[in-house]
Amino acid sequence: MDRTDAELIAAARNGDPASFEPLVKKYQGRIFATARRYARRESEVEDIVQEVFIKAFQKLDGFRGEAPFEHWLMRLAVRTCYDFLRRHQRNRETAFTELTEPEIDWLDRFVIEPDHASEDADAARELIDKVLSRLSPPARLVITLLEIEQKSVKEIAQATGWSVPLVKVRAFRARAEMKKILTRMTKDKYL
Amino acid sequence: MNVNELHAKLIAAARKHPPSEQVPYAFEKRILSHISGRPAPNIWALWGRPLWQAALSCVAITVVCGLWSYGSRPKPDSAESFSQDFEAAVFAPMGEHIEDAW
């Protein structure tokens, strides 16, 4: 019979690290998906996920069981990803690298007929990745959580540890930052 | 170009392409080996190291002070006058008391 999360956590707390393995197995997919939103290279993604689970194991005593383990783990993952962004903010792309031909085609199509520029296109995904990689760490985190994952301000505040007003301020600034980047990206070509 | 529309379009594109949940083979084993190989933090060991470092620094300071005081001690010829001055300073109040008593 499968043991519940609470039983596995209790066993891991009592000095049985093997009980932590089913928890890792159960949630690692979601943590990988979260980490892939912030890191491009697979080696970096693996490092983030490893850090999340090691931190989770070390801080297991701090888990009070008031919320599901998954929520607690996701909070830890978001904070670890934010730390990763801050550590690597010097490596952030400061200038737009050449847009690829499919990306330029997609933008051309968007300029002529915005409705015909498909969101399903790989070029659109690559473009948004490039734009996100140019944002500052707080802006990137807020845009990802608020607009892409469609979380509420309150949920973001809980996940990041920021206050609700701070999330709102950072969301406002993040949108302005993104608009500036998009304007700069399209200025040379279309304006 | 409508930048707001482009923003909305790109965000929609990001929503339509959620990142993969794919996990490298036996990743959980790697986590477990890290957790199992990591010794539990020993509170005595955590305190012991800084205390040893502090003790060594104290010994070093003591040796330096000892050497410095040994090096700057008064010369033998001035030792007599120093002892006389010291004795006078110590017995000065006593002498005053005696004079007052007489």
Report whether A85 contacts A141 (CB < 8 A). Answer: yes
- Residue from B2, B27, B38 whose CB has the most chain A CBs within 10 Å, to mutate: B27
Backbone angles phi, psi at A8, to 5 degrees: -65, -40
Residue A66 half-sphere exposure, CB side, CA atoms within 13 Å? Answer: 2
- Residue from B35, B36, B38 whose CB has the most chain A CBs within 10 Å, to mutate: B35
**What's the CA gap between A44 and A50, in Å, rounded?**
10
Q: Per residue in A139-172, is it b (16+ CB within 10 Å) or e — as a string?
A: bbbbbbbbbbbebebebbbbbbebeeebbbebbe
Our CA-based measurement puts residue B11 at a distance from the nearest CA of chain A, in whole angstroms, of: 6
pLDDT at A95: 56
Residue A71 tokens read as: 């929520």
Domain with CATH 1.10.1740.10 in chain A: 5-87
All residues of chain B having their beta carbon less than 8 Å from the beta carbon of residue A120 are 13, 16
pLDDT at B14: 92
DSSP string, A22-85: HHHHHHHHHHHHHHHTT--SHHHHHHHHHHHHHHHHHTGGG--SSS-HHHHHHHHHHHHHHHHH
Nearest residue of B to residue A190 by CA position?
Answer: B1
Q: Which CATH architecture has domain A5-87?
A: Orthogonal Bundle (1.10)
**ipTM higher than threshold 0.90:** no
- A94 has pLDDT over 60: no
**What's the CA gap between A74 and A53, in Å, rounded?**
11
pLDDT at B86: 84
All residues of chain A having their beta carbon less than 8 Å from the beta carbon of residue B12 are 119
Our CA-based measurement puts residue B34 at a distance from the nearest CA of chain A, in whole angstroms, of: 8
Domain with CATH 1.10.10.10 in chain A: 96-190
Tell me what the pLDDT averaged over chain A comes to.
89
All residues of chain A having their beta carbon less than 8 Å from the beta carbon of residue B29 are 21
Task: Assign A189 a pLDDT band (cuts: 50, 70, 90).
Answer: low
- A31 has pLDDT over 90: yes
CATH of domain A96-190: 1.10.10.10
pLDDT at A138: 95
Mean pLDDT confidence for A127-154: 94
CA nearest A170: which of A186, A159, A184, A182?
Answer: A159
Mean pLDDT by groups of 10 residues along chain B of 102 residues: 87 91 91 78 75 92 90 67 82 70 57
